[in-house]
Structure 1
Amino acid sequence: MLDSLSLDEFGLWAWWIIAAVLGILELIVPGIFFIWLAAAAAVVALVAMAVDIPLTLQVALFAVLSVIAVWTSRRYFARHEVPSDHPLLNQRARTYVGRNYTLELAIRNGRGKIRIGDTLWLVEGPDLPAGATVHVTGVDDDVLKVEAVH
């Protein structure tokens, strides 16, 4: 029964239904992508209501509008970055800068390790014995830069 239904059978409501489904999908899936497809479907619905155009032209219009909407939004957001309320998210090592820790393994030849929580972190700095307190001054990839605390 459902397999015999086509887009034409829903008439003008088809594009509104597609726009609604894409809008709901935007709420469920992370990211900002489906909203632009939903907007394209809504524009096609408005055009189809105003002008009687064949289904193939409606689909082509939807495809073109979708590409334009996604491309335009990507360019806009690349130039107008939205400030984050968690700027260090996914940059865990940077959250340790400015803090003091105890060396777990002595720094020899410029490299040692500190324990933060249940993780050992590679550190670079002046040679120091295990147990010395160090101050994290920076990060290079996932290596913490440290200096001795006096």
Structure 2
Amino acid sequence: MTEPETLKLTVTLSLEAWWLWWTAALLLAAAEMAAPGAFLIWLGLAAGLTGVVTLIFDLVAGREMGLEAQLAVFAVLAIASVLAGRRWARRSQQADERPVSRRAGQLVGRTVVLVEPIVHGAGRAELDDTVWEVRGPDAPVGTVMRVVRTEGAALIVEPV
């Protein structure tokens, strides 16, 4: 025995590809929370779905999906999820937008009390704890007026 025998211990770490995709999805979702911008979440969704596709392929085919195929699936899903996310964001933003003029339009027919006189056609009135710009005939403070229509954020009023 000229050389001492050494014991070598080799540790092999084997991670399934789908676990890596799900980890990437979680990291992208966490990054979205840290730096919100509504973009990384869609890439995270694509990574998570790529993990699902990879897992299903592994189970059905009985072998791992190649790296090139995984990257192609991710690319397609990333493009699709970003486009779908943009479409959803536009639709929900349009539904949530409540311009002041639309809110003001709901006030037609209600009565307001002037908190500033209407002078030269312009003044201010209070309605539901909100002070509104009003336009109409000159009137002193305290006059009760009826909203007849709106122009932008201004209420067009007339005496009751």
Same fold by TM-score, threshold 0.5 exceeded? yes
Residue deviations 1:10-58, cap 9 Å, x none? 632122234456678999xx9987764444223311333325222x764
- Asked whether 1:107 is paired with 2:118, we answer yes
Distance 2:150 2:82 in 1: 35
Shift of 1:148: 1.7
Alignment of 1:128 onto 2:139: yes
Cα deviation digits, residues 93-137 of structure 1 (max 9, x gap): 525433211111221221111124554321112222222111123
Q: 1:137 aligns with which of 142, 145, 148?
A: 148
Q: Where does 1:60-75 land on structure 2 (aligned, <5 Å)?
A: 61-75=73-87
User: How many residues are aligned here?
Assistant: 138
Structure 1 residues 74, 128: CA separation in 2 closer, same or farther (over 3 Å shift)? Answer: same
TM-score normalised to structure 2 length: 0.57
Q: Kindly, what percent of the aligned residue pairs are identical?
A: 34
1:5 corresponds to: none
Is the contact made by 2:100 and 2:153 (CA closer than 8 Å) also made in structure 1? no
Alpha-carbon distance in structure 1 between the residues aligned to 2:31 and 2:109: 42
Alignment gaps of 5+ in structure 1: 1-7
Distance 2:18 2:124 in 1: 65
RMSD: 4.3
Query: 2:50: which partner in 1?
Result: 44
The answer to whether the aligner puts 1:13 opposite 2:19 as a matched pair is yes
If you compute each CA radius of gyration, which structure gives the higher value, 1 or 2?
2
Matched, 1:53 2:66: yes
Find the aligned partners of 1:122 and 1:63 in 2 and give their Cα distance: 53
